[in-house]
Amino acid sequence: MTIAVILSAHGSVSEKLLHTTEMIVGKQENVAWINLLPSENTDTLIEKYNTQLSNLDINSGVLFLTDIWGGTPFNAAQQLILNHKNYDIITGMNIPMLIEVFIAREHTHTIKKLVHIALQSGSESIKAVKNSLFSPDTKNLKKTSISTNQHNKHFNKNDKNNMTICLIRIDDRLIHGQVVTRWAKEYKINRIIVVNDEIATDEIRKDLLTQVTPPGITAHVISVNKAIRVYNNPKYAKDKIIMLFSNPTDVVRLIEGGSVPIKSVNVGGMSFSTGKQQIHNAVSVNSIDIKAFKKLDQLGIHLEIRKVPSDSPINLIKLIENIT
């Protein structure tokens, strides 16, 4: 049997990419696609992967094709390939890559060779008609950064000998595409700190999270108590930081335990599960979350729902008031 292929991306991209490619090379066997909805997170996607894997012939191996390095589809797949030598992930999938993978796997029976074919075809297919990446007027270009927009007025900057916390974000996906491709560039940060007691003691999950940041940005996973100590360490005074949390309770603990000055908290995603109420297409809360958010509001902290910097902020407290 051929090597199994799973396409996964944000939104409905993977489904449409597969159908488009099949228009060119014909219907494919031992292939699956997975979409990522706004209300879903890494755990949800792992469940979807496992469901698809149970329906595929995986004896020859599995190739996961995803959209963004560090995005949720990539992060979920990364947890599944750890103990499988014949599993691998490629990011940046495109139609030329899919065409070559589907044709090559008919006679290629090793995952390593198929990955090499995919990487070569995917990169070679990216071309411009009039301009080259290596033309004289473009070779010295630097990556562009997104200018800070008017919605970022609640900047968590301080005047003491501490790190500058550019963004406090609650997102149970933690480090993923929106964080590394948009927020990190928005503030030109050099460090991402995940604050989570449970993951801080799990070496495997720590390693996976710290591997997905782009060049120039380091990632750390620490407990709430250690976050307080790190904030007060002058060693990091020149650093620009994004702090990521999976829930609002830990943010309250950070503030109360270490007097960390926070003006605003951004909420990017809190997935739905039993016992939660959905207040936004990407945010669901339970009674513990509501209590913590109300505490943050009482402390005068601005609470907004905003997936990416260019979105208009949504007042989270007003949404909570509608359900309480």
Q: Annotated catalytic sites, by residue?
A: 10, 176
Range list of H helices, the chain:
13-25, 42-54, 72-81, 95-104, 111-124, 177-178, 184-187, 197-200, 203-210, 224-231, 248-258, 287-298, 316-321
Reference 284, options 172, 179, 140; nearest CA is 172
Which residues is 241 bridged to in the sheet? 165, 191
Contact 220, 192 (CB under 8 A): yes
**Extended strands (E) in 116-208:** 164-171, 191-195
* 203-210 and 72-81 helices, crossing angle to 10°: 140
Question: Which residue, among 250, 175, 260, 182, has the nearest Cα to 218 in the 3D structure?
Answer: 175
Q: What single-letter amino acid sits at 157?
A: K
Residue 135 structure tokens = 């033309």
Residue 122 contacts by C-beta under 8 Å, 6 or more apart in sequence?
Answer: 90, 92, 93, 94, 96, 97, 100
- 216 Ramachandran zone, left/alpha/beta (phi>0; psi -120 to 50): left
Q: What dihedral do alpha carbons 108, 114, 118, 124 form, nearest 10°?
A: -70
